[in-house]
Amino acid sequence: MNENLYLPLMGQTGLKNIDAARMLESMTESVLITSIDLDAPGPYILYVNPAFEKMTGWSREEILGRSPRFLQGPRTEFGIFKDLKESLEQGLVWSGRTINYRKDNSEFHMEWSITGIKNDQGEIYQYLAVQKEVTQIVLTERKLQQAREVEKVRIKEIEETNKKLNQLIAKQSQTLSLFIKYVPEPIVKQALAKKTDSREVSKALQAGLLFCDIRNFTQLIDGLDPDQVVDLLNIYYSSMSEVITDHEGVIIQYVGDEIFVAFGAPLAIKNPNLQAVRCAIHMTKRLTEINKDLQVKFGREMAVGIGINFGSVIAGNLGSEDKLSYSITGSEVVTAKRIESLTRGLKNVILMSESVYSDVKHSIHSKAWGEVEIKGKNEKINVYQVINLIGL
């Protein structure tokens, strides 16, 4: 190797104790020095170090005087060189990365920087390129990018799945909300909690039973069109259902202008009789507010009659595989309805059976009606009128 070739590298910088040639020969990164004629077929290789020989498979003797372009091949990205000449002629450092080819024609990814070597007058007279094989880095980066793309797809799939799941949940919630409007909520929740067929065997329960009927309903709706009748009933039912729910009652059925409510079925509650009586009292009080709305909308008011009984009933889901209905039946249900019918001709009267009265008598003001005949009963029963809660 002609060491005089590299003496200008030192110039008069005062680095006389550094042997530039040995330094280049010892570097672990590939070094290539070329002439400054950048236009094809130049530049021409003036020097390569052993690291270059190792990286490319070409010996120094084979490539001195040749252009570095011979390292390029079919998959070399030539677009990266578009600013090379301009950058170097301006004295800037140029960097790039692309595919080059070894002597055995195998590909490798190379990353390199090129800078000008200046003489004492500050003129560039050679170019020095420091090169590094980055094939493994590129492959790793590609794998990472592929992993990112796979992750993006997976995240998108998860987002789509979550979107569909949320839509399904929203639809189910909407369906459940609509279903609850037709089936008492406690019954729906009880059915959803069961893993078996909801058509379970009916069971006996002790429950408070309340019937509330609009008095003189035919006369009340006389002259109203069907839409007005529906509007009137919706005002009434919406307001009364709030009162019933507040007292732990479960609306079992709307029958025309009548509401059938259970206290303690399907789920047991504390003090079902007292809750039923309190509910009835607040229903009659709420009627005052309802009548204000009816007076404004329809120019009329309504009155109700309420009957309350307590006793053993048969409760459960009845029907077929296609359609079920939660029902409460038994003689005590009939008795509750018969007690309510005693209020006909009376305005906002609440009547209760002996079984209810004996449980709540210390909490309410009441009036005994004495023994009365009930249709379907062989014996007369004692009936009491609820006046108000004690303390009110």
Question: What tokens does 118 get?
Answer: 């200046």
Residues 123 and 234 both lie in one domain: no
Q: Which domain holds residue 117?
A: 3-133
Residues 129 and 217 both lie in one domain: no
Residues 340 and 239 both lie in one domain: yes
Give the count of beta carbons closer than 10 Å to the beta carbon of residue 372.
14
What CA–CA distance (Å, rounded) separates 315 from 313?
6
Residues 227 and 307 both lie in one domain: yes
Which of 198, 193, 203 has its CA nearest to residue 328?
203
Question: Does residue 106 fall inside a structural domain?
Answer: yes
Residues 98 and 244 both lie in one domain: no
What CA–CA distance (Å, rounded) separates 325 from 23?
95
Residues 206 and 288 both lie in one domain: yes
Residues 85 and 212 both lie in one domain: no
Residues 221 and 123 both lie in one domain: no
Q: Enter the pTM of the model.
A: 0.56
* CATH assignment at residue 370: 3.30.70.1230
Residues 113 and 212 both lie in one domain: no
Question: Does residue 32 fall inside a structural domain?
Answer: yes
Pairing assessment for the beta strands 304-319 and 258-263 based on DSSP bridges: unpaired
The number of helices, as runs of H, and strands, as runs of E, in the chain is 11, 13
Number of folded domains in the chain?
2
Pairing assessment for the beta strands 124-133 and 30-34 based on DSSP bridges: antiparallel
Q: Which of 133, 157, 184 is the last residue of a domain?
A: 133
| Residue listed under structure tokens 């406690």 | 186
pLDDT of residue 220: 93
| Tens-digit pLDDT string for the chain (392 aa) | 444 444 444 444 455 677 888 888 988 999 999 999 999 899 999 999 999 999 999 999 999 999 999 999 999 999 999 999 999 999 999 999 999 999 999 999 999 999 999 998 989 999 999 999 998 988 898 899 999 998 998 898 888 888 887 887 777 666 555 445 555 566 556 555 555 555 555 788 999 999 999 999 999 999 999 999 999 999 999 999 999 999 999 999 988 789 999 999 888 999 999 999 999 999 999 999 999 999 999 999 999 999 999 999 998 877 666 666 778 999 999 999 999 999 999 999 999 999 999 999 999 999 999 999 888 778 899 999 999 998 76
Question: Does residue 163 fall inside a structural domain?
Answer: no
Which of 384, 389, 388, 392 has its CA nearest to residue 357?
384
Question: Does residue 318 fall inside a structural domain?
Answer: yes
111-131 burial string, b = 16+ CB within 10 Å, else e?
Answer: bbebbbbeeeeeeeebbbbbb
* CATH assignment at residue 87: 3.30.450.20
pLDDT of residue 307: 97
Question: What tokens does 388 get?
Answer: 């108000």
pLDDT of residue 158: 87
pLDDT of residue 318: 73
| 8 A C-beta contact, residue 46 and residue 35 | yes
Sign (positive or negative) of CA dihedral 253, 231, 189, 162: positive
Alpha helices in the chain (DSSP H): 20-26, 50-56, 60-63, 84-89, 135-182, 185-193, 217-220, 226-246, 272-298, 331-341, 354-360
Task: Look at the chain and count its residues.
Answer: 392
Burial bucket for residue 236 (CB in 10 Å: 0-12, 13-18, 19+): buried
Question: Does residue 342 fall inside a structural domain?
Answer: yes
pLDDT of residue 3: 47
CB-side neighbour CA atoms (13 Å) of 244: 25
Residues 213 and 124 both lie in one domain: no
What CA–CA distance (Å, rounded) separates 199 from 78?
77
Cα→Cα distances 76→69, 72, 99, 101, 153, Å: 10, 6, 5, 9, 31
Residues 209 and 316 both lie in one domain: yes
Question: Does residue 146 fall inside a structural domain?
Answer: no
pLDDT of residue 186: 61
Pairing assessment for the beta strands 94-101 and 250-255 based on DSSP bridges: unpaired
3-state secondary structure of 164: helix
Question: Does residue 176 fall inside a structural domain?
Answer: no
Q: Which of 80, 112, 133 is the last residue of a domain?
A: 133
Measured in whole angstroms, the distance separating CA 154 from the mean position of its chain's CA atoms is 17
Residues 129 and 207 both lie in one domain: no
Q: Which of 109, 133, 157 is the last residue of a domain?
A: 133
Question: Does residue 332 fall inside a structural domain?
Answer: yes
